[in-house]
Structure 1
Amino acid sequence: MQLNVRKNEGFHTRDIRNLPTHVMELIFTFLDLNDVFSSMLACRRWYSIIYGKQRIVFKSLVLKTLPKAALEDVRIVNIFPDSRDFLRAFSYAWSPKDISGTMSICSNGFTVYRRPIAQCTDAVRGKRSVTHGIHAFDFVWHTPFGTAAVIGLATESERLHCRGYDSLLGKSQFSWGWNIVDKVTVQMGKSNAYPKCPNIQPVKIGQKIRLIIDCDHHVAGFERGEDFFGIAFTELPAVPLYPAVAAVYGHSEVSMYYIGPPDLG
C-alpha cells in the first residue's frame, strides 16, 4: 500500500497532510515497513506522527512483521520495551539465507540452532551489515560450548562451513572471531589471548556477551555486564561487516540481539 496522492477531483496533497493525527496514525498502520520509512521522509508532520509517543505505527508493524514465537517469548519482549527497537533488532537478526546447511533459525527469529552433525564447524551471519558508526550486538549461548564457540564478525565472502572442529571465524582475511572456550581471538589465522587480564572469569552458559563495533575507528571489542574486556580486533576493513557465530556442539543454540549504539562510559 502506498500513499500516492494525485490532484484529481479537487483533492490535493495538502488535504491528506492536514488530516487529524489519529486518522493519519490509522492510515499508517496499513503500510508495510518500506512504505512507512518512505512516508517518514515525506514531511516533518508525518515523521512526528510515526515516531509519536504512543508508537502506534511501530506497534502495528511489530505485530505484522515479527514471528509469533518472538512476541510470546517474555525474555525477548522484555529486552525491547520500545517497539521501534524490537523491529530494528529483528531486521538485524540471524539470516535464514546466509547460514550453514547444518544450521537453522528457530521459530523466534533471533536464535540459531545447529544440528548434531559430527566432525564439522558451522557458522551464520546476521541479515544486515554495519559500515559506519558504533554498534552493539548481544549474544547468548544457551547450550554447552563444545571445543569451539566463536563470536565475531565476517564479510559476505567468508565460508560458513568447514570440516573438523575449528574456530572457522578468524582463519581468513574475511572474518574475525573470539573463541570463548579457549579465550583467544583469531585474526588472519593468528591466535591471541583475550581478555588480557588473567583474572577474568570464563564465559558461562546463558551469560550475555556484547560485541561492540566501531566502524569509524576500525576496531571491535567485547564486554560482559560492566566489564569491558578490551579491544579484540584492530584494522578492520572499511567494508560491510556482519555479526557472526561459529559452533561445533550438537544442538547448539545461540541468540543475537541488535542493541544499537552502546552506552559508552
Structure 2
Amino acid sequence: MHQTDETNPAGQDSGQQIRALWAEMARGWAAGDAAHFAACFAEDCDFTTVRGDKPSGRNGIEAGHDALFRGPYAGTVLDARVVEVRFLRSDLATVEAESTVTAADGESLTSTHALAVVERTADGRWLIRAFHNMVPAPRPADRAPAASDSTADRPTARPKLRHLAIVARDPGALAEFYTSVFEMELFHRDPDGSCFVSDGYLTLALIKHRLDGETPVGMNHFGFQVEDTASTSDALVAAGTPKPAERFSDRPFAEYRAMDPEGNWFDLSEHGFGGPRPPSDAAGTGN
C-alpha cells in the first residue's frame, strides 16, 4: 500500500527533505546555475523532457539547462511545487510536482507537470532517480456528452485534422484577438512569444516571425492526429510523397513533418497537439 509523507512512519522529515529538493532546483534556476540545479538529480537519473528528449544523467541535465539559462530562459524564475509524495519504501518514493516558469516581468511562460522517483542514498540524502516532465492539456468544463459526441458510428482509426499554424508578426496580439473574440483558450506560450490557443478541438499555433528568417508570415502548416505514425508514413510513401521526417523542434506538439504532392507541409502526431480535450475525448483516451 502506498503511503503519503503524512502517514509514513518516518515520513515527516523525509517528506520535508524531498520537498527541499524542489526548492533547491528553484534556487539553482533563479541563479542561472545549471550545476546547482542538476545536483538534485542522481548521476544516472532517467530524465525525460516535455519534448521527449532524454539527456544522459546528471551531466546531460546540467548541459541542457545551462543552454536554457543562457538562451530562452535567461533571467526567468521557476516556481516548483510538490503536489504529493507517496512512499513505496522508507527510502523510495514517487513525487508529483508542478512547475511554472515566469519571466522577469512576471509573465508566465509555461507550466509543466512532472512525475518523479526519488531515493535516499547511503549517506541519507534524497536524490531524484527518474523524472518525466510534460505540458498538461487544460480540460474544458465537464458536461454530459451529446449524442453527436459518440465515436460508436465512426471509424476510430480515421486521421483527424487537429492543428493549424500561422506565422505571425505579433503572436501575443493575435492570441488576444482569438481568445477575446472567439473564446479560444491560451494554453501554452513559448519563450520567443509564440502562442498556442485552442477551441477545445483544434489547436492554432501562432508562431513568432523571425526577422532574419526566410519564412513568410501567414498560413504555414497544418497537422493530423493519427493512431499510428508508422502506418501513415507507409501510406504516404506508397502515395509517392517523401517519407515523413522526425521533427527536431523546441515544441512538444508533433512528432513528424510530412509533405503532400504539391509541397504543402503538415505534421503527424499520435499524442495530439495539446490544448483542451474535445468533448468526445473527455471519457476516452484524449490527446
TM-score bracket, normalised by the shorter chain, equals under 0.3
> Taking CA–CA contacts closer than 8 Å with sequence separation of 6 or more, which of the two structures ends up with the larger relative contact order?
1
Q: TM-score, normalised by structure 2?
A: 0.25
Q: TM-score, normalised by structure 1?
A: 0.26
